[in-house]
Structure 1
Amino acid sequence: MISKRLFIALAAVLLLAGCVGSPSQPTRFYMLSAGGAEQDGPPLSAGKAVLLGPVTLPGYLDRPQLVTHTSDNKLALSELDQWAEPLHDNLKRVLIDNLSAALETEQVYAYPASLRPGPDVIQITLDIAEVRFSPTGDVSLKARWSLFNSLDGKPRLRDGKIYQSQNGGGHEDNAAALSNLVLELAGDLATAARTVALASS
């Protein structure tokens, strides 16, 4: 009986030592990055300003873990692969940087901002309906937007688009691919802002 107890005790100690001694994998953190947006049109009209927001994202993205769509009805969360900050905040800031570069102006602000409503303030509301990472490396972003004159709140332009990329890589490649899709989105928003600015001049 004593030898059996001793064996069990030794086994428990060895098991505990193995658990304590095994190194845990570090968490990897990712961010979106702004790109060098090309000016596909003229700068924003002098005296005009852009107010970006509200910007909305699906609830399933309101978490630190990167989310992969393993099927149309199933999501997988990666505990070891996380966003360095809330995706909403990161995406919004990158969009503002890209918009400023595309429109060649610093007059791009995040909603809410202390801008006095007026005919020279173009507000862009943006609904990110879906961000999808697939196990095969496909990345897509589905967005809808509306542009308003902030003085009267009447919509001047509405549009939407699905942006797609294929990288075949891992989470870091997915973050880079999504950054490129956000850059494409910023280019389309810049074109829309120019259209509304010219119409209200």
Structure 2
Amino acid sequence: MIAVRLPLILLAGLLGLVGCAQYQPVPLYQLDSGNSEVPADKDGVAVLLGPVTVADYLQREALLQRQEDGRLTTTTEARWAGSLAADIDQQLLRQLASRLNSQRLLLAPASPGFVPQIQVQLSITRLDSGPQLPAVLEAQWRLLGKGGQLLDGRLVRKEEAHQGTITDQVRAQSLVMQQLVEELALAVEEFGNATPAVAAEPRKKAPAAPVRKPEAPKIPVAEPIRIDAEVFRF
């Protein structure tokens, strides 16, 4: 029995060693927020961020690589630390709040009682890179005022070169996101700080003097006077 069991034990141990040798932890990545700081102003501009829509192919943990022929392939060397779409939401919120120095930013939908001065609607249709291709961000944003009126809006495309490694590709993708936030912050500052011009009241004209109607000529009334003879005095 011992002679039979020993080879089985050795075989199991060798298989375990082979499995450990093949298993390597996969690096996890997140977008970098740069030098974002926690805003100190609790009374800054009130901004509602969203809805933020992200392309379907970005709503995953797999880190994709854009090939020169346009194909997207999944790399086995790394992946995102969680959902990339959720990471984009949080990066936009933190970076925009820091850039505007305002605590009054919320992701849509708005909480009851929150009245935003500006609403930022954003659609990200592309955010990727490849070993031989730069990081590319394509998006469209719109700014809405209190009454829902369109204040501004643009289609944007931003590119950032990198050195080809996964780490440098994530750095480049983070930079194009930071450039987008910078553009959004400038637009929000322009319209958020603008005060509507107060229309000057027209000068009130002095009330016109009432037009007097011409008086009718007075006709003397004949009055009878009794004397020796009845005469009429005018």
Same fold (TM over 0.5): yes
Q: CA deviation at 1:107?
A: 1.4
Deviation larger for 128-137 or 62-71: 128-137
1:77-133, CA deviations, whole angstroms, 9 ceiling, x for partnerless residues? 113411102111111211111111211111122112305464x52110111111121
For residue 179 of structure 1, what is the aligned residue in structure 2?
A: 174
| Higher mean C-alpha displacement, 83-92 vs 191-200 | 191-200
Q: CA 1:29/1:21 → structure 2, altered by over 3 Å: closer, same or farther?
A: closer
Other structure's SS at 1:71 match: coil
Could you say what the CA RMSD is over the residues aligned between the two structures, in angstroms? 2.7
Greater shift after overlay, 126-135 or 108-117? 108-117
CA distance in 1 between counterparts of 2:28 and 2:20 reads 25
Residues 155, 79 of structure 1: alpha-carbon distance in 2 compared, 3 angstrom cutoff: same
Q: What aligned pairs does 1:5-24 form with structure 2 within 5 A after superposition?
A: 17=15, 20=19, 22-24=21-23
Residue in structure 1 matching 2:106, options 89, 103, 109: 109
Residue 142 in 1 paired to residue 157 in 2?
Answer: no
Per the alignment, residue 78 of structure 1 pairs with: 75
Q: CA deviation at 1:137?
A: 5.0
Which residue does 2:125 correspond to in 1? 129
More helix by share: 1
Letter in 2 for 1:101: S
Which has the larger share of strand? 1
- The answer as to whether partners of 2:60 and 2:85 remain within 8 angstroms in 1 is no
CA gap 1:73/1:176 in 2 versus in 1, 3 angstroms: closer
Unaligned runs of 5+ in 2: 1-10, 197-234
Measure, in 1, the Cα distance between the counterparts of 2:73 and 2:121: 29
CA distance in 2, matches of 1:133, 1:21: 32
% same residue: 28
Q: Residue by residue, what CA displacement relative to the aligned partner does 1:35-82 show, whole Å, maximum 9, x if unpaired?
A: 2269xxxxx9x6630111111111111111111111354111113411
Once residues 110 and 90 of structure 2 are traced to their aligned partners in structure 1, the CA distance between those partners, rounded to angstroms, is 14
CA spacing shift, 1:21–1:30, aligned 2, 3 Å: closer
- Structure 1 residue 20 displacement after superposition: 3.8
How far, CA to CA, are the matches of 2:101 and 2:83 in structure 1? Answer: 27
> 1 CA distance for matches of 2:97 and 2:107?
12
TM (norm. structure 1) is 0.79
Gaps of 5+ in 1: 1-12, 39-43
CA contact (8 A) 2:131 2:164 kept: no
Structure 2 length as normaliser, TM-score? 0.68
Give the match's secondary structure for 1:34: coil
Whether contact under 8 Å (2:45, 2:117) holds in the other structure is: yes
Residues of 2 paired with 1:193 and 1:27: CA distance? 39
Read off the aligned partner of 2:144 and give its amino acid letter.
F
2:103 maps to a residue whose letter is E
